[in-house]
Amino acid sequence: MSDRVAVVTGGSRGIGRETALTLARTGLFLVVASPEVENNAKVAEEIHAAGGAAMTLDLDVSSYDAVKEGFAKVIAEKGRIDVLVNNAGITRDGLAMRMKQADWDLVLKINLFGAFFAAQQALPGMVKARWGRIVNIASVVGQAGSPGQANYAASKAGLIGLTKALAQEVGSRGITVNAVAPGYVQTDMTAGLPEELKQKMLASIPLARLGVPADVANAVKFLVSDDAAYITGHVLSVNGGMYM
């Protein structure tokens, strides 16, 4: 797989960072893409230090033009994009009755529109090569819902629908499109949760622990590998059993 190129959006920290490091260990050339330029560079340095190969991309996935330009830059430099992991995501929680439109718009724009923009730019090359892997990072919240997260739940449920539609569109070209739906994973995004809520979450998880980024990264690693060549349109839950 050494000549294959993988783009990981939101690759600067958390699940994205771990996914980038994990995929680099399989021999993929990594494009660490996010607006966090300094953190992108740190992840790329870690990949290089471990003997891997990587470049960084300052990328705002909420902008169609930025995604188009960014992906064109990768293709100009590397000639191809074989693997796309749509991991970029944010939360702006609040009760639906009082949710600001700006918070609704931004979460949908980054989490859902951004994934579509990226897939649209990556797919033509994959279709031409008759090989490709797209993995969208959804969420248990997109499957089960969550109070105070109408925007996030809608964006992640939308990602699951997008995954299935794309899988049907491009399957005949040797391209698989799958989703990974993490449960509660220890990242910056969940670090700020109140202790009481964390304990309540733990009580709902049969495996009795929160996930770690490697749990999700390893699922992505499997789905982009040749071992998963006959899996497409699938939502792989990585949630410790909290939602079945």
CA distance 95 to 129: 45
Tell me whether residue 152 is one of the annotated catalytic residues.
yes
Does the structure show a pLDDT above 90 at 63?
A: yes
Choosing from 152, 184, 230, 243, which is the catalytic residue? 152
Mean of all residue pLDDT scores within the chain? 96
Count of residues for the chain?
244
CB 11 within 8 A of CB 40: yes
**pLDDT class of 101 with cuts at 50, 70, 90:** very high
Does the structure show a pLDDT above 50 at 180?
A: yes
**Structure tokens that stand for 207 in this block:** 């495996």
Does the structure show a pLDDT above 90 at 9?
A: yes
Q: Rounded to 5 degrees, what angle do the CA atoms 10, 188, 81 make?
A: 15
| Topology classification of domain 5-238 | Rossmann fold (3.40.50)
Average pLDDT over residues 5-19: 98
**Backbone angle region of 78, left / alpha / beta, with phi > 0 → left and psi within -120 to 50 → alpha:** alpha
**pLDDT class of 1 with cuts at 50, 70, 90:** very low
Average pLDDT over residues 130-136: 99
The ranges assigned to domains in the chain are 5-238
